[in-house]
Amino acid sequence: MATIYEVSELAGVSLATVSRVMNNNAKVSDKTRTKVLQAMDKLGYKPNSIAQSLASNRTNSVGVLVSELHGGFFGFIMDGIENELRIANKHIIITTGHSDEAQEKSAIDFLISRKCDALILLTDSVDDDYLISISKTIPTVLVNRKINGIANNCISLNNEQGGYLATKALIEKGHEDIAYIAGPDWKVDSHDRLLGHKKALTEHNLAYKTELFFQGDFNEDSGFDGFNQLKTAATKFTAIACGNDEMASGAMKAARKQGLDLPKDLSIVGFDNNMFASYLYPELTTVDNSAYFMGKMATDIILKSVYKQDDITIQNVFEPKLVQRNSIASIS
């Protein structure tokens, strides 16, 4: 592998000059530039990115932490990150934290030791203060999280609006007795989604009834249990809004098991627009979480702040959209 030194010899210039044409930096005369370029070409020269990093103290890499690599949400986010980074000729180093505090912290350490120029973190197992302290050490953007004080480096979804849209979609089809299967309340996501649900109810003069509320945990099973639990309550309902698509699927399975004909006997709306949403039967009407675009935007923040690409507009909060499919029936 040819080095910058060999190029400089062949071109009859100094190391410094070769370096300059590589970086399109200082002014180099056209004549010199072409001489150097030709030499590079002839030698098939490729800069050694490691040496560049050591000398420039910049690795052109950004570290990413997600919970898991499989799963629709993370996949789309990472697609958004990778695409954007690739265009900028930066690279992405990936680690997983498995939603475990210790593992997430060690993953962050790992990324830092790898000298990433910046971090994109997707975590809910690590507390605000820790993240704030990290962000003082290294440029950090948080996806799907919002922390006061570093809000400019946070990308999040307007979950309340999403919850609102979901329930509103039900109401507009004539539903008035709407149950809700929520995610864990300590997660802001699910907390906010529930808020949106209540808001839609209130706005349409419908009462929120605790008998029609079930507290799940975002997993499919809890949706299954949720439906069964709800069913035992005396209060009737014609629809269920779910905190995410997994639980929606669980609820659908339970309902069908009890002989209900979906969506005729029961309407369901989910949240996330998970990969499998369109594979469910009936195909699930749900709220898209903009995962791809959140990943892209997280990257843009870094491109702008770390790599000085100025022509970028940042948007910290994303507005969700309803994705209409076939899981909501009209009440006649």
Chain center to CA of 263: 30
Q: Could you give the CA distance from residue 6 to residue 37 in angstroms, rounded to a whole number?
A: 13
> Whole-number minimum distance, CB 92 to DNA, in Å?
21
Which residue stretch of 24-32, 44-52, 127-135, 153-161 sits at the interface with a second copy (rule: CB under 8 A)? 44-52
Q: Render 291-306 in DSSP notation, one character per residue.
A: HHHHHHHHHHHHHHHT
Q: Could you give the CA distance from residue 123 to residue 258 in angstroms, rounded to a whole number?
A: 37
**How many residues interact with a second copy (rule CB under 8 A)?**
44
By C-beta, is 53 or 228 nearer to DNA?
Answer: 53
Q: Which does 140 bind (CB under 5 to 8 A by kind): DNA, a second copy, none?
A: none
Which residue stretch of 3-11, 52-60, 128-136, 315-323 sits at the interface with a second copy (rule: CB under 8 A)? 52-60
> Whole-number minimum distance, CB 253 to a second copy, in Å?
8
Which residue stretch of 23-31, 76-84, 141-149, 229-237 sits at the interface with a second copy (rule: CB under 8 A)? 76-84
Question: Which amino acid type is present at position 205?
Answer: N
- Per CB under 7 A, 1 contacts DNA: yes
> Whole-number minimum distance, CB 139 to DNA, in Å?
17
> Alpha carbon of 75 to those of 25, 43, 89, 303: distances in Å?
37, 40, 20, 21
> Alpha carbon of 235 to those of 117, 138, 204, 240, 328: distances in Å?
56, 53, 19, 13, 20
- Per CB under 8 A, 249 contacts a second copy: yes
- Per CB under 8 A, 114 contacts a second copy: yes
- Per CB under 7 A, 3 contacts DNA: yes
Alpha-carbon dihedral 20, 23, 27, 33, rounded to 10 degrees: 70
User: Which candidate, 100, 147, 138, 143, places its Cα nearest to that of 119?
Assistant: 138
- Per CB under 8 A, 293 contacts a second copy: no
Q: Which does 16 bind (CB under 5 to 8 A by kind): a second copy, DNA, none?
A: DNA
Q: Could you give the CA distance from residue 177 to residue 228 in angstroms, rounded to a whole number?
A: 16
- Per CB under 7 A, 12 contacts DNA: yes
Print burial letters for 35-66: b (CB count within 10 Å at least 16), e (below 16). bbbebbeebebeeeeeebeeeeeebbbbbbbb
Q: Which does 115 bind (CB under 5 to 8 A by kind): a second copy, DNA, none?
A: a second copy
Q: Which does 25 bind (CB under 5 to 8 A by kind): a second copy, DNA, none?
A: DNA
Q: Could you give the CA distance from residue 10 to residue 13 in angstroms, rounded to a whole number?
A: 8
Q: Which does 177 bind (CB under 5 to 8 A by kind): a second copy, DNA, none?
A: none
> Alpha carbon of 255 to those of 149, 223, 310: distances in Å?
45, 10, 52
- Per CB under 7 A, 75 contacts DNA: no
Alpha helices in the chain (DSSP H): 4-11, 15-23, 30-43, 49-56, 72-87, 101-113, 128-137, 159-172, 188-203, 220-232, 245-257, 291-305
- Per CB under 7 A, 55 contacts DNA: yes
- Per CB under 8 A, 138 contacts a second copy: no
- Per CB under 8 A, 101 contacts a second copy: no
> Whole-number minimum distance, CB 304 to DNA, in Å?
19
Structure tokens given for 229:
């639990």
Residues forming the site for a second copy (CB under 8 A): 46-51, 53-54, 59, 61, 68-72, 74-76, 78-79, 82-83, 86, 91-96, 107, 110, 113-115, 220, 249, 252-253, 256, 275-276, 279-281
Applying CB under 7 A, which residues contact DNA? Answer: 1, 3-5, 12-17, 19-20, 22-23, 25-29, 31-33, 45-48, 51-52, 54-57
